[in-house]
Amino acid sequence: TGALAQVVAVSWDESQARRLQQGLDAIDRAGRELVRLDAQRLAKMNMQQRLDLLEEKIVHFTENLLHSKCFSIRLLDRKTNKLELVIAGGGEDLSLDAELFASVEGSGISGYVAATGRSYICHDVSQDDRYLPGLKGAKSCLTVPLQMHDEVVGTFNVESDEVGAFGENHRQLAEIFARYVAMALNILDLLIVERYAASGQ
């Protein structure tokens, strides 16, 4: 029985490792696609259209690898310390009215993650005082920091209507993808700056 349990455990570990590696490979592909932004195409778009394009790519990732359509991306305004909502997926079921700041208290899990720079898995929102309502009927969520050059620039939050929907593998995948999201947002920002400088506006 002990030998059988050991074989099962090894098999399970290998299966987990294989799934994680497949996820990492998919993240790498998704991330490279995310930052492959055509400058000429973007030049013809306004800021909202650019964000919509980015949102489409992120929705595809969250559905396929994190198994959720509901997410929000907030960028940190250094002057006000406020987390400004820039992209959200989830439609009418996602409530995003709350004003959030980078703070360990009073601004929910996103505020905590922005203030500490540490990812946060909430297995059950009903048991977590930090959680502020987002997705209608949400049962769990995962929030990771967006970072550029080791500096927190925002947060990436994903929510699920299932308890315990997110584990360590999801956290690792989301953290890697969040780096690509930060890079893509930074590229969009730089393109806007370049365009304004070139046009003299």
80: confidence class by pLDDT, cuts 50, 70, 90 = very high
For residue range 19-67, what is the model confidence (pLDDT) as tens digits? Answer: 666 766 766 776 676 666 666 676 777 878 877 888 887 887 788 878 8
Find, among 57, 2, 12, the residue nearest to 184 by Cα.
57
| Helix/strand/coil for 67 | coil
* Domain residue ranges in the chain: 2-199
77 or 35, higher pLDDT: 77
For residue range 81-103, what is the model confidence (pLDDT) as tens digits? Answer: 999 988 888 766 666 678 999 99
Q: Which helix (H) or strand (E) holds 52?
A: helix 47-65
Query: Does CATH number 3.30.450.40 belong to domain 2-199?
Result: yes
| Helices (runs of H) and strands (runs of E) counted in the chain | 5, 6
167: confidence class by pLDDT, cuts 50, 70, 90 = very high
Cβ-contact 128, 122 below 8 angstroms: yes
Find, among 90, 23, 76, 101, the residue nearest to 186 by Cα.
76
Q: Which helix (H) or strand (E) holds 147?
A: strand 140-148
91 or 115, higher pLDDT: 115
Main-chain dihedrals φ then ψ at residue 122, nearest 5 degrees: -105, 105
- pLDDT mean over 169-178: 90
Q: What is the pTM of this model?
A: 0.78
Main-chain dihedrals φ then ψ at residue 54, nearest 5 degrees: -65, -40
Q: Answer whether residue 189 shows pLDDT above 80.
A: no
Query: What's the rounded Cα separation, in Å, for the pair 83 and 73?
Result: 9
Find, among 98, 37, 68, the residue nearest to 161 by Cα.
68
pLDDT for the residue numbered 40: 64
